[in-house]
Amino acid sequence: MTAAPLPHRPRWRSLVLLALLLAPLLWPVQHLSERYYSQSLAEQNRQTLDLYVANLLGTLHRYEVLPPIMADLPPLRSLLAAPDDGSLQDEANRLLAEVRQETGADVIYLMSPQGKTLSSSNWDQPDSFVGRNFTFRPYFREALAGKQGRFFGLGTTSRKRGYFFASPVREGAKIIGILVVKVDLDDAETLWGKTPEQLMVTDANGVVIISSRSDWRFRATRPLDNAERAAIAANQPYPTQAPAPLELDDNAWLTQSRELNQTGLTASILTPRQLIDRQVSTTVAIAGATLLALLLLLGLLMQRRRHYLDRIALDASARRELEMRVLERTRDLEALNSRLKEEVLEREHAQQELVSAQDELVQASKLSALGTMSASISHELNQPLAAIRSYADNAGVLLDHQRFDDARGNLKQISELTGRMASIIAHLRAFARRDRHAPESVALQPALDDALALVAKRRRAMEVELIRDLPDAPIWVQAGETRLRQVLGNLLANALDALAEKPHPRRIWLSTVTTTEGVELHIRDNGPGFSEDALRRAREPFFTTKTSTQGLGLGLAICDSLMRALGGELVFANHPDGGALLTLRMRNAAPGVTSLPLEDSPA
């Protein structure tokens, strides 16, 4: 017997050689990630720089128009005309202080054409500009030349940085004064939070005037020539006349700059390259780890492939055995399913027989109830028949004596008595009838109108107010045309019976509520309502609260039976405000036109 071959081990040496061959692929990953992160950071810095430049320019432009506007103020012109008048100087000082308070400027001051400060918003401060001479400032010389002066510099008195706007005050073509507004730039640095990116704003000399790092402030970003050094010495914009150079390693920072038009300033944002290097290193490390994981996965897959080949033959044998078992189980299930179908058919047949037996039992119960009340029916019918015989005999006598009106009254009584007998018989037939008609689509409002028309004469005679709250659009319900009218007419007649002993006012309310399950019709009156006993027994045949001459107690029982046959429900309750509240719950139906079913054909 030959020994089984030993399982092959993963070829780790081949995997190591493959890893060495794939290692150079990390260089393009590093190059692409460095390019991607550099572009992303540059775009982010551009947006940040745009926001900062827009904010800084907005601040400067807000104060740029202030000197030309204030140059026309009468108190300032009066002071320029009489510079030695103390009261005019005091008025101008207070005016400038008030304008500075409202605008948020750092200092506003007025100078004579000789450069002497006549009035200032800080006149009451220790570092007041009043009496000082600023002819050495460029903004004074530009304004004296008829231009609008602009200048950044460190205040020689306050030692605070600021941007100066100067405008000439004219009297015709003559310049009679210079108005200057100084803008504080310290707030421009506070907008920059503690982030790795650094902010830097340089002036025309390339000297840093605003920076998020205090050690960069007032340092030169480029070498200064002799003319620039001379201008710095003359204008004194910085705390020193020889700004130290700012030595930045170009390889350590990524710089983006933006010139601020008309201001002579340049805003720059500097980002440490370490931010990009850190992200690139992370990406390369992830790529290397991914490559290593793929190689390990490849080794595992090679090993699993060998195991998989060994399992194929085993699985084929197991599959054949499983198929045999499945076939056997399938045959068993088919036999069981056949037996279940036979049992289901037997149960359905038994259920149908049970329903039929229940229907027969209900009908037998109705007929049994009719038999129970046969004695009462005989009395109910014999009494009208006797009265009819008496009225007929009397009518013959009255006609013989030509008393036609009295005879006509007797005939009317006979008609009413026959109507009562017909009503008794109709109620009995409706109660005893077996309902064989399926519900159909019926419009509720026309059926209700017909039922109201049947009792309209009696309602008007009783002076009963009808309050309707029904929609104009037809409401379609599942019912029978005749049966629905029978239910509505019976319920309205009962409502009028309840109001017979009620003093005025007498009212009947009709309203509908549409729900997701169907339609509810509410019939309410302000009569005495139902007693507790009547609420419990309202659906019982022959139960009535009326006298024997007013009814047999079949009306509500028939209505309840008809509603259940139609798939609806009749609910009896008392309204919180008094009186009875009857609710007919019917199912929704699709709109349509239905014909009157012949369900009341004579027997």
Q: What is the mean pLDDT of residues 278-294?
A: 76
d(CA 472, CA 154): 85
| 154, pLDDT greater than 70 | yes
Q: What is the b/e burial string over 511-548, where b = at least 16 CB atoms within 10 angstroms of the residue's CB? A: ebeeeeebbbbbbbbbbebbeeebeebbeebbbbbeee
Pairwise pLDDT comparison (7 vs 321), residue with the higher score? 321
Predicted model pTM: 0.42
Q: What is the mean pLDDT of residues 401-406?
A: 84
- pLDDT value of position 180: 92
Q: What is the mean pLDDT of residues 347-371?
A: 63
Pairwise pLDDT comparison (176 vs 259), residue with the higher score? 176
Task: Report in angstroms the alpha-carbon separations of 387 from 406, 415, 416.
Answer: 16, 11, 11
Q: How confident is the model at residue 178 (pLDDT cuts 50, 70, 90)?
A: very high
d(CA 270, CA 272): 7
The residue among 87, 89, 58, 63 whose CA lies nearest residue 76 is: 89
Pairwise pLDDT comparison (535 vs 330), residue with the higher score? 330
d(CA 262, CA 558): 99
| 596, pLDDT greater than 70 | no
Cα angle 219, 223, 226 (rounded to 5 degrees) comes to 110
- pLDDT value of position 129: 87
Contact 157, 129 (CB under 8 A): yes
Token pair of 394 as six digits: 């009397």
Task: Report in angstroms the alpha-carbon separations of 448 from 442, 451, 498, 527.
Answer: 11, 5, 19, 21
Q: How confident is the model at residue 414 (pLDDT cuts 50, 70, 90)?
A: confident
- pLDDT value of position 367: 55
- pLDDT value of position 600: 38
Q: Per mean pLDDT, which of 16-25, 139-148, 181-190, 405-414 is the most reliable?
A: 139-148
The residue among 370, 366, 396, 415 whose CA lies nearest residue 565 is: 366
Task: Report in angstroms the alpha-carbon separations of 520 from 498, 509, 515, 600.
Answer: 22, 14, 8, 26
The residue among 447, 449, 507, 508 whose CA lies nearest residue 478 is: 447
**Could you count the other beta carbons within 10 Å of the beta carbon of residue 315?**
12
Q: What is the mean pLDDT of residues 381-387?
A: 68
- pLDDT value of position 449: 84
Give the tens place of pLDDT for each residue, 102-151.
888 889 999 999 989 999 988 888 888 888 888 888 888 888 888 888 88
Q: How confident is the model at residue 547 (pLDDT cuts 50, 70, 90)?
A: very low
- pLDDT value of position 283: 78
Residues 6+ apart with CB under 8 A from 27: none
The residue among 34, 15, 535, 3 whose CA lies nearest residue 279 is: 34
Name the average pLDDT for the chain.
77
Q: How confident is the model at residue 181 (pLDDT cuts 50, 70, 90)?
A: very high
